[in-house]
């Protein structure tokens, strides 16, 4: 986002002073002539074009961090990400149904929330704290799989609890009155307000629960209700008459109707949005970045350029080592590979510098994660084969080394193009790389099972929410080595000191202090070269020509549908 | 690797083929392609490039990796430009890709013809039961959804197995049905001819009869059929590589280049046109040559056609 554009946008918003729903320093990306005005933005139909469907649209089964996709239009949660800006503050937690982001006790093991007054479901019945409790309890039911694993881990009794359908409730969630809800946790979790943005924290009225059929028409607490829903593949949302801006300071809900269409090819989405004919003029990309065809046009077509928004999702693509496989037990070999990697080639393989930034840290380069810059094996943009050779000689491989790199066949960020780029750059340092390809599903099974984990493979990790905890713990916490599969601790690292530091950081409820702790831990882990960070993805997404106030959330890199206008 | 050319240059077949200008052009292109593929390392060395070296300085990372300069970044050092996204030399990748495309398609054709001839002969010369069983197997082989089966076969075989050989075997094993049916029909016809009957009555064993009396009679139709199978195998290999189950990177093949080119057709049209054009020329050359061979080996077919055409003209 250029500075001048941000200033212009801020000036535009200054005109709106006095409005209850005034936006923060949003970086509006409107290409239309008239300035965006939230007071008169209502009307029209917004179309969302996507590759993937929403899946089962049940708040218990969705796994979306309560993000800027479709769920946030229908489900309000105790807290939510900051919708009002496309800037870095978009990665902050703000209250949604609750009056604040949560009151912890001394050691962050008990969290209490109070609901705002006047909240209603789409049928006019008031939203009570019991509905939130019931919504969370449903997510434990084996009939409704999916959703993040944290609730089961964190809530007392969560591991055994089987959901409310068999009659039992979860006593660690207390509702002393209709507007108060308290959570009792097994261990200190300073990140609880982040977890409370998940759709599992949306209220569900027990009387309207139809079990596994609830996904067809979940009861809305947000600005829109579900009018039609074809298994999440295509959906139509219309206004919820019982929602108003007076009880929701996060969503603007400008369009009268929202149409979600999925199953489209990425190139088709980009071409339709670029052409902007008919309804496509009032459409946005749901999950698709611009491709080379669009990127090449941007320099000459400033109107098209103004319709591309840039966002960041906290994610890192990396080369993973399994030190239980030789020669990766040798730190010098891992360091040599870290020096040899040509990040420019890798970035070009996934779409160029517009959609990826070189990474030398495991944590994404956003302050919310506790980003602490370091580069212990400075290889420059294109690798340092000479230094790598030197280290290999020290490691006892003066004549080079032959290793195997495992990769997937389909998904591009872990696919053959990236593997070929790594292979070529390591070749310059005398490391002969054999490629071992497997189909995506097999690849995930193989790399996430410690007994079959290859020694050297391409991996990626994205954040459940913008904080260091869910980024570092699954990868480096020794107690999260899952021997039965689903393991992401690829180094199979179980260092008591690292485990203790993770516990200490989880206790912190002050985000600034937590960021510092996670940043320090990352910098310390980086020295061991358990991974070679390759790049952080950058999201660049296109909107139709009549779309206003479209910006990409810095929480998850997708368009904030709740703030867009098509009028 | 050798193209299927008939025996002696002085034979009437060769004379008839030489008189067919289209077929000669096809033959010339095929020979050139074979030479180019065989000399791929030489061609790349002549240009001073190799097919796997990345050239990040020749592509514009900010626009997704489009080659810098017109016609896909063609220059004195990279005669046909560089590959978008990597900067690898296109000419080197094309000629090395020709090795894969041609060796796989020729190898697959050999497997198809060998299997088809064996099975067709067994059906045509064997007893009633063998004929019934083998004929139904041929029907099955012809009706089989080959592409789908090839994709799954390519996916399950471990990555350590050499991919070009695997492609050859998969295409060969899935595509013998047509040849077998042709050979069976021919064998049935030839079997009733006098010299074959004489050989059998004189006590020759069936293997010897097949080899000495029937196989020579099969040469013409089988060679013709093989020449027409070949272009199909070129496209089949390209198709499998296009779908990502063919050869594995960094080995190049035309199908794989085309697959990569799908995202670049607007930003870098040259990168689409080169492998597509080469594939087109190859398939066309093999097809024209095959047609020429067919008429050269069986001049009656041509005159029959001509007669039929003149009869139609009379009727009209």
Tens-place pLDDT, residues A259-269: 999 888 888 89
Q: Is A19 on the interface with B (CB under 8 A)?
A: no
In this model, does residue A368 exceed pLDDT 60? Answer: yes
Q: Which of A177-186, A503-512, B75-84, B198-207 has the highest mean pLDDT?
A: A177-186
Contacts of A437 in chain B (CB under 8 A): 159, 248
Mean pLDDT (whole number) for A227-249 = 94
Of A301-310, B13-22, B306-315, which gets the smallest average pLDDT? B306-315
Tell me what pLDDT residue A389 has: 95
Tell me what pLDDT residue B136 has: 93
Give pLDDT tens digits for A263-322.
Answer: 888 888 999 999 999 999 999 998 888 887 788 788 788 999 999 988 888 899 999 999
Compare all CA atoms of chain B with the CA of A270 and give the residue at the minimum distance.
B263
- SS3 string, A86-98, reads CCHHHHCEEECCE
Contacts of B260 in chain A (CB under 8 A): 417
DSSP state letters, A347-383? HHHTT-TTTEEE-SSSS-SSGGGT-----SS--TTT-
**DSSP state at residue B61:** G
Strands B59-60 and B66-67: antiparallel
Contacts across the A-B interface (CB distance below 8 Å): 103
Give pLDDT tens digits for B233-252.
Answer: 988 888 888 887 788 777 88
Determine whether the interchain pair B159/A355 forms a contact, defined as Cβ–Cβ distance below 8 Å.
no
Contacts of B241 in chain A (CB under 8 A): none
Determine whether the interchain pair A348/B61 forms a contact, defined as Cβ–Cβ distance below 8 Å.
yes
Return the C-alpha torsion angle A283, A288, A289, A295, nearest 10: -60
Determine whether the interchain pair B155/A439 forms a contact, defined as Cβ–Cβ distance below 8 Å.
yes
Contacts of B265 in chain A (CB under 8 A): 293
CA-based nearest residue to A185, from A164, A157, A163, A146: A157
Contacts of A423 in chain B (CB under 8 A): 249-250
Q: Is A436 on the interface with B (CB under 8 A)?
A: yes
Percent of chain B having pLDDT more than 90? 31
Whole-angstrom distance, CA of residue A322 vs CA of residue A29? 44
- From the list A354, A410, A427, which residue is nearest B64 (CB)? A354
CA-based nearest residue to A294, from A276, A312, A271: A271
User: Which of the four pLDDT bands, split at 50, 70 and 90, describes residue B302?
Assistant: low
- Closest approach of A298 to chain B, Cα-based (Å): 8
Spatial contact of A256 and B25, defined as CB atoms under 8 Å apart: no
Rg value, chain B, Cα: 23
Determine whether the interchain pair B63/A351 forms a contact, defined as Cβ–Cβ distance below 8 Å.
no
Spatial contact of B174 and B213, defined as CB atoms under 8 Å apart: no
- From the list A292, A299, A438, which residue is nearest B65 (CB)? A292
Tell me what pLDDT residue A19 has: 33
Spatial contact of A384 and A339, defined as CB atoms under 8 Å apart: yes
Higher pLDDT, A65 or A52: A52
Contacts of B65 in chain A (CB under 8 A): 292, 348, 351-352
Tell me what pLDDT residue A77 has: 95
Helix axes B215-242 and B90-125, enclosed angle (nearest 10): 140
Percent of chain A having pLDDT more than 70? 93
Sequence-ordered list of residues with C-beta below 8 angstroms from that of B49, at least 6 positions apart, any chain:
B77, B78, B89, B91, B92
Tell me what pLDDT residue A439 has: 79
Mean pLDDT (whole number) for B76-94 = 91
pTM: 0.80
Of A6-20, A209-223, A294-308, A519-533, which gets the smallest average pLDDT? A6-20
Compare all CA atoms of chain A with the CA of B61 and give the residue at the minimum distance.
A352
Determine whether the interchain pair A293/B263 forms a contact, defined as Cβ–Cβ distance below 8 Å.
yes
User: Which of the four pLDDT bands, split at 50, 70 and 90, describes residue A480?
Assistant: confident
| Torsion sign across C-alpha atoms A12, A18, A19, A22 | positive
Sequence-ordered list of residues with C-beta below 8 angstroms from that of A464, at least 6 positions apart, any chain:
A65, A148, A150, A194, A470
Q: Is A435 on the interface with B (CB under 8 A)?
A: yes
**DSSP state at residue A111:** E
Determine whether the interchain pair B263/A410 forms a contact, defined as Cβ–Cβ distance below 8 Å.
no
Whole-angstrom distance, CA of residue A13 vs CA of residue B178? 73
Q: Name residue, tokens 């009151």.
A: A103
In this model, does residue A162 exceed pLDDT 80? Answer: yes
Determine whether the interchain pair A410/B244 forms a contact, defined as Cβ–Cβ distance below 8 Å.
yes
Contacts of A295 in chain B (CB under 8 A): 62-64, 66, 267
User: Which of the four pLDDT bands, split at 50, 70 and 90, describes residue B301?
Assistant: low
In this model, does residue B298 exceed pLDDT 50? Answer: yes
Contacts of A421 in chain B (CB under 8 A): 54, 86
Q: Helix, strand or coil for residue A412? A: helix
């Amino acid at each position: 986002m250029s500075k001048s554009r941000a200033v212009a946008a801020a000036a535009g918003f200054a005109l709106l002073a006095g409005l209850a729903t005034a936006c923060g320093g949003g970086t509006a990306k409107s290409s239309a002539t008239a300035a965006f005005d939230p007071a008169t933005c209502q009307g029209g139909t917004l179309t969302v074009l996507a590759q993937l469907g929403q899946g089962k649209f049940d708040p218990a089964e969705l796994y979306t961090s309560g993000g800027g996709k479709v769920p946030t239009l229908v489900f309000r949660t105790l807290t939510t990400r900051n919708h009002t800006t496309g800037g870095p503050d978009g990665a902050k937690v703000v209250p949604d149904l609750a009056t604040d982001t949560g009151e912890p006790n001394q050691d962050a093991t008990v969290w209490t929330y109070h609901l705002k007054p006047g909240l209603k479901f789409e049928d006019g019945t008031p939203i009570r704290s019991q509905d939130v409790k019931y919504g969370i309890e449903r997510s434990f039911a084996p009939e409704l799989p999916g959703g993040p694993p944290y609730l089961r881990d964190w809530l007392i009794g969560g591991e055994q609890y089987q959901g409310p359908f068999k009659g039992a409730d979860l006593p660690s969630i207390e509702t002393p009155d209709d507007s108060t809800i308290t959570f009792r946790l097994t261990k200190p979790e300073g990140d609880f307000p982040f977890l409370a943005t998940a759709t599992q924290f949306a209220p569900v009225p027990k009387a309207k629960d139809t079990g596994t059929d609830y996904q067809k028409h979940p009861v809305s607490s947000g600005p829109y209700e579900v009018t039609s829903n074809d298994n999440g593949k295509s959906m139509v949302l219309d206004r919820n008459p019982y929602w108003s801006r007076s009880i929701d300071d996060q969503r603007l809900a400008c369009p009268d109707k929202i149409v979600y269409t999925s199953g489209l090819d990425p190139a088709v989405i980009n071409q339709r949005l670029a052409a902007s004919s008919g309804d496509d003029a009032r459409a946005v990309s749901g999950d698709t970045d611009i491709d080379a065809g669009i990127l090449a046009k941007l320099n000459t077509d400033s109107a098209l350029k103004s319709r591309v928004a840039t966002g960041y999702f906290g994610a890192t693509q990396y080369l993973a080592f399994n030190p239980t496989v030789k020669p990766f037990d040798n730190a010098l070999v891992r360091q040599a590979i870290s020096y040899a990697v040509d990040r420019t080639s890798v970035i070009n393989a996934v779409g160029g510098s517009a959609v990826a930034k070189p990474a030398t840290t495991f944590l994404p380069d956003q302050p919310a994660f506790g980003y602490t810059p370091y580069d212990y094996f400075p290889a420059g943009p294109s690798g340092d084969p000479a230094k790598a050779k030197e280290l290999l000689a020290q490691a006892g491989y003066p004549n080079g080394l032959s290793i195997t790199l495992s990769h997937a066949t389909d998904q591009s960020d872990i696919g053959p193009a990236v593997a070929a780029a790594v292979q070529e750059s390591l070749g310059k340092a005398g490391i002969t790389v054999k490629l071992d390809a497997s189909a995506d599903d097999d690849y995930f099974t193989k790399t996430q099972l410690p007994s079959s984990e290859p020694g050297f493979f391409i991996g990626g990790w994205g954040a459940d929410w913008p904080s260091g905890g869910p980024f570092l713990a699954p990868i480096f916490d020794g107690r999260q080595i899952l021997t039965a599969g689903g393991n992401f601790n690829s180094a199979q690292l179980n260092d008591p000191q690292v485990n203790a530091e993770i516990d200490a950081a989880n206790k912190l409820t002050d985000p600034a202090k937590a960021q510092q702790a996670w940043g320090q831990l990352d910098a310390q882990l980086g020295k061991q070269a358990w991974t070679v960070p390759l790049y952080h993805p950058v999201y660049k997404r296109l909107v139709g020509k009549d779309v206003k106030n479209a910006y990409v959330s810095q929480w998850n890199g997708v368009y904030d549908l709740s703030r867009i206008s098509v009028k | 690797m050798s193209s299927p050319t008939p025996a002696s240059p002085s034979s009437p077949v060769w004379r008839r083929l030489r008189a067919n200008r289209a077929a000669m052009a096809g033959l010339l292109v095929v020979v050139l392609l074979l030479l180019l593929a065989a000399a791929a390392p030489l061609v790349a060395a002549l240009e001073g490039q190799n097919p796997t070296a990345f050239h990040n300085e020749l592509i514009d990372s900010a626009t997704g990796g489009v080659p810098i300069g017109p016609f896909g970044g063609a220059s004195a050092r990279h005669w046909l430009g560089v590959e978008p996204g990597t900067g690898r030399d296109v000419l080197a990748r094309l000629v090395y890709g020709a090795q894969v495309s041609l060796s796989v398609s020729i190898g697959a054709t050999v497997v198809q013809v060998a299997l088809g001839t064996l099975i067709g002969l067994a059906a045509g010369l064997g007893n009633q039961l063998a004929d019934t069983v083998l004929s139904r197997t041929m029907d099955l082989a012809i009706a089989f959804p080959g592409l789908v089966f090839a994709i799954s076969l390519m996916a399950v075989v471990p990555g350590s197995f050499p991919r070009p050989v695997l492609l050859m075997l998969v295409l060969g094993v899935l595509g013998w049905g047509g040849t077998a049916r042709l050979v069976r029909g021919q064998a049935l016809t030839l079997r009733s001819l006098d010299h074959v009957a004489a050989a059998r009555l004189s006590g020759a064993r069936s293997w010897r009869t097949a080899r000495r009396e029937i196989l020579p009679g099969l040469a013409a139709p089988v060679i013709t059929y093989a020449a027409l199978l070949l272009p199909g195998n070129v496209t089949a290999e390209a198709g499998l590589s296009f779908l990502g189950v063919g050869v594995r990177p960094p080995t190049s093949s035309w199908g794989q280049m085309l697959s990569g080119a799908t995202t670049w057709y607007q930003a870098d049209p040259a990168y689409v046109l080169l492998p597509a054009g080469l594939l087109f020329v190859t398939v066309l050359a093999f097809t024209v040559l095959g047609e020429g061979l067919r008429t050269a080996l069986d001049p009656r077919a041509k005159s029959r056609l001509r007669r039929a055409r003149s009869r139609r003209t009379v009727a009209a």
